Amino acid sequence: MGVLLPLVFLLTAAAFGQVFPELGLEISLPDSKTPRFLLGGRRGNGGATLIRRNSLSITNPSSAGGFTAIDVRAVPEGDGIRVTLSVIYNDISVQEWWKDKNERPGGSYLIHAGQTALASDLAEFGIEPFEMKVVSAAPVVLKSGEGPRITNNTTALKVERLEKHLTSYSIWLKNISNKDIIVYSVVSGNTGLTSSNIGSREPAIAAGETSEEVVLTSTSDVEQNGVTISFAVFYNGTFEGEAKHAIKFIAKSEGVKAQTPYVLRMVEPTMKVDDSDIRFAFEKLEADLWVIPEALYKPEALQFLKVKFPDQDEKTLLALYEDFKGGLYDARNIALTSIGQTQRTVKEYVERGQYADATESIKHCLNYVKDTLTRIIFAPQPAK
């Protein structure tokens, strides 16, 4: 049958309110020149893909006519997968071609776990049938030393858990240092994650805690390039690992810290306003925050960054200024985001005549914002 071309549909435990095993669908195409590829959502309720005409073998051009692709759809059913094929005649290079779909049924197959089925109905369309097999897609937990190469540029992070899935890898990292981490980065080839909690009440990974699941979506990238834990930025402004990218986040964090006191000084007077005027003051605070002056304008900010990063050249400092400036606006947005969300709630209360609830909602928001801003201002500083 030629090269195995896995088109993977992951089907798991929560589809349609029923419990199904985690399964995948493998399709073997006859064309050995077709590159291997994987697709399908991890832990999804089904999957779909198009197999283009040039990936298939045509046995009868007359019967094949002008078809352009086979639409493959899979959904869980019992202990197997229901695969439905459609022969597509649209020009699939046209965006949103599917809105006016021209198709003919290409067969429906219920394939149980561990079984193989031949897409025999495709023969009447002059298409060589391909094989479909349902395989287990349950994740495999890899032990230390198993799996892809791990390059760790930090001492603060260690791999707590590594799983292999049909189309991806998952990794969890533990912060084994005594400092909270606000940014960390995990990469593999063209996939990866940089998790940033700059300006947040909670760290990305608290000291002694484990990260959320990081999904590396390309199995081939991971197996070819390995996994790199690039850097970690700590709550006190220090970092470990790759400096080129880490200092961008430090510059942004410094921008947040520079602007935060100015934002707090605008919030605090609103907290002292009488209840009868607090809705008006709250609206004015929101409007004023949109036009808050920058804590440091470009010349002063560049001088600050030059002192902060003395080994960086002018070009790098200019790039870091943009990160720093982004931090200035992030500090403002910490307040604006909470205020905007609260304003919608306040409007609903007012429309229902629940004015006391509206006032309490505003006070809760202001206290929350003040607490968040205060945490940023009094964050621990790097040791001298």
Report pLDDT digits (tens) over 92-151.
Answer: 999 899 999 999 999 999 999 889 999 999 999 999 999 888 888 788 899 888 889 999
Question: Does 290 reside within a domain?
Answer: yes
**17-to-12, 73, 124, 137, 180 alpha-carbon distances in Å:** 11, 19, 37, 19, 39
Among residues 78, 104, 137, the one where a domain terminates is: 137
Read off the pLDDT of residues 251-273 as tens digits, 9 standing for 90 and up. Answer: 999 999 999 999 999 999 999 99
Res 384: pLDDT: 52
Among residues 116, 137, 158, the one where a domain terminates is: 137
Question: Does 174 reside within a domain?
Answer: yes
Res 120: pLDDT: 96
Angle between helical axes of 355-377 and 243-271 (0-180°, round to 10): 140
The dihedral through the CA atoms of 243, 217, 180, 196 has a sign that is positive
In the numeric block, the tokens 């002292």 are attached to: 272
Question: Does 213 reside within a domain?
Answer: yes
Among residues 137, 164, 187, the one where a domain terminates is: 137
Q: Are residues 353 and 320 in the same domain?
A: yes
Q: Are residues 214 and 268 in the same domain?
A: no
Read off the pLDDT of residues 312-322 as tens digits, 9 standing for 90 and up. Answer: 999 999 999 99
Confidence label for 214 from pLDDT (cuts 50, 70 and 90):
very high
Interatomic CA distance for residues 329 and 259, integer angstroms: 8
Question: Does 282 reside within a domain?
Answer: yes
Read off the pLDDT of residues 46-93 as tens digits, 9 standing for 90 and up. Answer: 678 899 998 899 999 999 999 999 999 988 888 888 999 999 999 999
Confidence label for 38 from pLDDT (cuts 50, 70 and 90):
very low
Res 192: pLDDT: 82
Q: Are residues 332 and 259 in the same domain?
A: yes
Residue 309 has pLDDT above 90, yes or no: yes
Q: Are residues 218 and 147 in the same domain?
A: yes
Least confidently predicted of 31-35, 124-128, 162-166: 31-35
In the numeric block, the tokens 């700590």 are attached to: 234
Q: Are residues 174 and 274 in the same domain?
A: no
Q: Residue 87 belongs to what domain range?
A: 4-137
Q: Are residues 58 and 22 in the same domain?
A: yes
Coil, strand, or helix at residue 375?
Answer: helix
- Residue-by-residue DSSP string for 131-166: EEEEEE---EEPPTT-SS-EEE--SSEEEEEEEE-S
List the structure tokens of 70. Answer: 């086979």
Question: Does 383 reside within a domain?
Answer: no
Res 380: pLDDT: 73
Res 37: pLDDT: 39
List the structure tokens of 195. Answer: 């998790």
Res 372: pLDDT: 94
Domain count across the chain:
3
- Output the pTM of the full model: 0.76
Res 20: pLDDT: 53
Question: Does 323 reside within a domain?
Answer: yes
Q: What is the mean pLDDT of residues 208-228?
A: 89
Q: Are residues 146 and 129 in the same domain?
A: no
148 contacts 223 by C-beta, under 8 angstroms: yes
Question: Does 86 reside within a domain?
Answer: yes
- Phi/psi for 381 (5° steps) reads -100, 155
Report the chain's mean pLDDT, rounded to a whole number.
88
In the numeric block, the tokens 């609103």 are attached to: 270
Q: Are residues 183 and 252 in the same domain?
A: no
Q: Are residues 163 and 194 in the same domain?
A: yes
Question: Does 384 reside within a domain?
Answer: no
Residue 15 has pLDDT above 50, yes or no: no
Q: Are residues 236 and 249 in the same domain?
A: no
185 contacts 204 by C-beta, under 8 angstroms: no
Q: Are residues 150 and 45 in the same domain?
A: no
Confidence label for 310 from pLDDT (cuts 50, 70 and 90):
very high
Res 383: pLDDT: 57
Confidence label for 233 from pLDDT (cuts 50, 70 and 90):
very high
Q: Are residues 128 and 30 in the same domain?
A: yes
84 contacts 73 by C-beta, under 8 angstroms: yes
